[in-house]
Structure 1
Amino acid sequence: MTAPSRGRGRPALFNADAQQRYLEARAAGATQKDAAALVRVAANTIRYHRATDHAFREADDTAAACGRQARIDQLAHGETRYKHYGCRCTTCTKAATVGRTNRPSYNAKEARIIPISPTGQESSCSFPLARAS
């Protein structure tokens, strides 16, 4: 008897085990590029599997949503979290209030007017020449 054949071509790098590790990294908050680097495949490999394998795409979308929430949860409380992520805890609310009160109010200032023509002249000398020609 002959030994069982191993098949043709090189072995797949993004097998089921690598896919599971990739999805776990995505759910923990890693970006697509960082999670791909973690399992040692190119980002194009991930894009190819998302385009061809609908079950993997759905799992990746779910993991990405969990990862986004994990990144938001790790974000420090402050004005940014109040403004962009809708956090209304007392820490974020106070930080946003302080940020608004310390920001300069441009509407209250008078606009500075910069004269275009030199003092004492109505317009520069190029305007009459342009009209004469």
Structure 2
Amino acid sequence: MDAAVTSTIQECARGSLSGDLAFPDIVGRLMAAGVERYHTDYSRQETTYYLPDGASLVVATPHPPDATGAEFCAATVAGAVRQSQRGEHTYLDFIRKTMAAGCVGYFAQITGRRVIYFGRNGESHVEEFPSRPAGE
């Protein structure tokens, strides 16, 4: 993985945690850098980014050690996603809310335009990326 891709990934990770970058900005930057997907693991507090050639990079994503809910609630996860889409909370708030809803992490499939959230017992909830604006 070249230095420019590594730098983009690290900037996106920092920007999400600080609130300086929103999800659409992050996805756009990662896509331009050639990242096809990433996996965020709340328990390990890290995100692994993957390129099509099999290269990967693990980046620490420290967040408060909130408790993970015992039951996975897809409706609560979906609600937190909608709040993010409306800009109503930070990424750290999103992590806290989805963890409380029993989510242990997610896969963002950039090329597939969806995010798969999952619970500790294999439960899952899929969110499609919002539609692209006309002209994209």
Q: Which structure would you say has the larger Rg?
A: 1
Indicate the TM-score class for this superposition, using the shorter chain for normalisation: under 0.3
TM-score normalised to the size of structure 2? 0.26
Q: Choose between structure 1 and 2: higher helix proportion.
A: 1
Which structure is higher in RCO with an 8 Å CA cutoff and minimum separation 6?
Answer: 2
TM-score normalised to the size of structure 1? 0.27
